[in-house]
Structure 1
Amino acid sequence: MITGANSGIGKATVKEIAKRGGTVHLVCRNKDRAEEAKKEITTETSNQNVFVHILDMSNPRGIWEFAEQFKKQHRLNVLINNAGCMINKRELTEDGLEKNFATNTLGTYILTTVLLPLLEKEDDPRVITVSSGGMLVQKLNISDLQSENVAFDGTMVYAQNKRQQVVLMEQLAKAHPSIHFSSMHPGWADTPAVRSSMPDFYEKMKNRLRTEAQGADTVVWLAVSAAASRQASGQFFQDRQPVSTHLPLAQTKASLGDEEKLIQALEELSQQFKPR
C-alpha cells in the first residue's frame, strides 16, 4: 500500500513494485488523477493487480474507516507512507486540525497503527515512511504540535512533521519487533510537490534535482529487498544506507521522554476520531 501514489515518488515506487509483480494498492485523494495513474501503471508494467482507494490523509475519521475496512478484505506485507503536504499558510481541516500536521503526522500515525495487526499476520512485514532531510534542522517540539504559538512558516512546520515521522518509526520499531520500520530521505527530486510547494528552491536547483525514479530507489529497496530487512529496524536511510538523524553539533536530539510523549499525544488525538 502506497499513499500519495498518483504522482512523484509515490507513482515511481508503484511502477517499480508493479514491474516486479507486486499487488499494489494506491491510496490517493483525487479519483481522476488516481485512475489516470493506475491506467499508466498497468499499461507500462502489464500488471493488472493495481487497485485504487480514495482517501484524504488529512481526514482522521476517514483514515480510521478506510483502514478498518481494508483489514477485512485484504492482506498487507508492506505499507509505504508517502503522502505529504507543505502548506505555507496556516490552514485548519474541518476537524480543526492544522493541515500539515493532520496529513503528515497524525494521518501517518493512524493509518500505520490501525494496519499493524494486518501486517503482523505476514512474514517479513515492513513499514516505510518517506521523510525528508529537512527534518535535520528541527528538534522534536511536542509543546506546539499544531503550530499555534509561533509565526507560521510552512517550510519549518513541514520539517518538524518530518522529524515527528522519524521519531514515530523509531518508537514503533521498539514496540513492534515483528515488523521492520524505516524512514528515509529520497534526496531532492524533481516532483510536482517540490515544484508547487518550493518554487524558489525548484528554480534554483532544477538542473541538479534527481528524477522521480532516483528519488524512489531507496523506497523500493526498503520495500522489497532481503538486504533491507536485515538492517536494524527503526533507522533513517538515504541512498540505501542508514544515516544519522542528527547533524553534528546541531543539538536536535530530544529526550526519550519527549519522544514517548509524542506517541502518547498522537494516540490520544487518534482515539478522538475512532469510529464508535
Structure 2
Amino acid sequence: MSLYRNSAWFLKGVTEFTRNAFLAASKQFVEKDLEVSVAGRSFLITGANSGIGKATAMAIAKRGGTVHMVCRNKDKAEEARADIVKETGNKEVYVHILDLSETKKVWEFAEAFKRKYKALNVLINNAGSIMSQRDVNVEGLEKSFAVNVLGVYILTKSLIPLLEKSADPRVITVSSGGMLVQKLRIGNLQSDRGRYDGTMVYAQHKRQQVVMTEQLAKTHTNIHFSVMHPGWVDTPAVANAMPDFHRSMKDSLRTPEQGADTVVWLAVSEAAAKNPSGRFYQDRKMVSTHLPLAWTHSSPLEEQKLVSLLDDLAKTFQPH
C-alpha cells in the first residue's frame, strides 16, 4: 500500500508540484486578485526570515501591510527585516524572537502579543521542522512535533480572540503535499515507537495540520482557515533536510516566491475569502486532501480526538 502511495505521490509531484507545473497553473491566475493594498492590516508570519516565509513577508510589505516576523535566530531575522524594508520602503516590519520548539514560550509569546497589540488580521503558520533523528525539547516533547503541530495549535488557539476582534480574520498554515502519503495516526504523536524516519514524521505532522485546520474551521466560524501546499520549493530547509531529493530535483524546484504565491493569495485576496473555510489549496485552487485509492481517510472521531489530545497537551504547558 505504501509503495502505491509513494509512487502515486511522486507521479503527482512531477506533474503538479514542480516549477513548470506552477508556470502552467499560473496561466489561470486572476492577476487582479493580488492587486490590492493591505495598508492598516497586520500579518504575523512564523519562520519569516528565509524561504517561503520571507517571500510572503516581502509580498505583504509591498502591499502596505504591517508585518510581524516571528523567527528563531535574531541576526538572520534582523538581516531579513532590513532586506524587506529596503526593497519595499515599508517600515512597518517588526521582529519577534521565538523558538517554536519551546512549548511554554509559545504560550508566553502569544499572551504578550495580545497584550501589546490591539489587532491581528492574519496569522500565517509557516515555520516547520524536519529532524534527521529523534530529539526532545526541554519539556520532553519530540521536537518536530512541538514545532509543526503543538506550537502551531497553541499559537493559533491563543491568538484566536485577537483575530476574532479584527476585520476579515484569516489563518493560513503552510502544510506539504507529503501529507498525502500519510493517514492520520494519533497513537504515536511523540514518534517514540518504531524506527524514526524524519521525513515520514514530518509528513504525518503535515497531515495533522490539515485535520487541525478542518476542525478549527468548524469551531471558529467567523475566521477563515486554510491550509496549503506550496509545491516543491528550493529552500534552505529542503536542501538541509532532504539533500538527495534537493540534488536530483534542483532544476525543477520552485522559487520561494512561487512557493509563497498561494500563501499570499490566501492572505490578501478577496477571492480566497469567498471559498469555504478549512480547505486545502494548491496553486490558488481547492484540492483534495487524499490521493485516489490511497486509504488515508480517518474517521470524524479520530479527527476530533487529535484536537482534544492537542488541547490537553497545550493546557499542560499554559502559564498560570
Q: Report if TM-score (shorter chain) is over 0.5.
A: yes
**Distance between the aligned counterparts of 1:115 and 1:58, measured in 2?**
18
Q: CA deviation at 1:117?
A: 0.2
Letter in 1 for 2:89: S
Equivalent in the alignment of 2:159: 115
Identity among equivalent positions (%) equals: 65
Equivalent in the alignment of 1:81: 125
Is residue 2:99 matched to residue 1:56?
Answer: yes
**Distance between the aligned counterparts of 2:297 and 2:189, measured in 1?**
17
Q: Where does structure 1 differ by over 3 angstroms across 4 or more consecutive aligned residues?
A: none
**CA offsets per residue over residues 87-109 of structure 1, 9 Å max, x none?**
01000111111011000000000
Residue of structure 2 aligned with 1:187, choices 231, 236, 244: 231
**Distance between the aligned counterparts of 1:107 and 1:151, measured in 2?**
24
**Distance between the aligned counterparts of 2:207 and 2:101, measured in 1?**
18
Q: CA deviation at 1:126?
A: 0.1
Runs of 5+ unmatched residues, structure 1: none
Residue of structure 1 aligned with 2:87, choices 44, 64, 67: 44
Equivalent in the alignment of 1:32: 75
**Distance between the aligned counterparts of 1:253 and 1:182, measured in 2?**
19
Runs of 5+ unmatched residues, structure 2: 1-43
Q: CA deviation at 1:150?
A: 1.4
Residue of structure 1 aligned with 2:203, choices 159, 163, 178: 159
Equivalent pairs counted in the alignment come to 276
Is residue 2:48 matched to residue 1:8?
Answer: no
**Distance between the aligned counterparts of 1:114 and 1:154, measured in 2?**
28
Query: What secondary structure sits across from 1:206 in the alignment?
Result: helix
1:235-274 equivalences under 5 Å are 235-274=279-318
Residue of structure 2 aligned with 1:135, choices 154, 162, 179: 179
Equivalent in the alignment of 1:68: 111
**Distance between the aligned counterparts of 2:273 and 2:101, measured in 1?**
30
**Distance between the aligned counterparts of 1:212 and 1:62, measured in 2?**
28
Query: What secondary structure sits across from 2:171 in the alignment?
Result: strand
**CA offsets per residue over residues 123-167 of structure 1, 9 Å max, x none?**
210000000000000000000011111110000000000000000
Q: CA deviation at 1:122?
A: 1.3
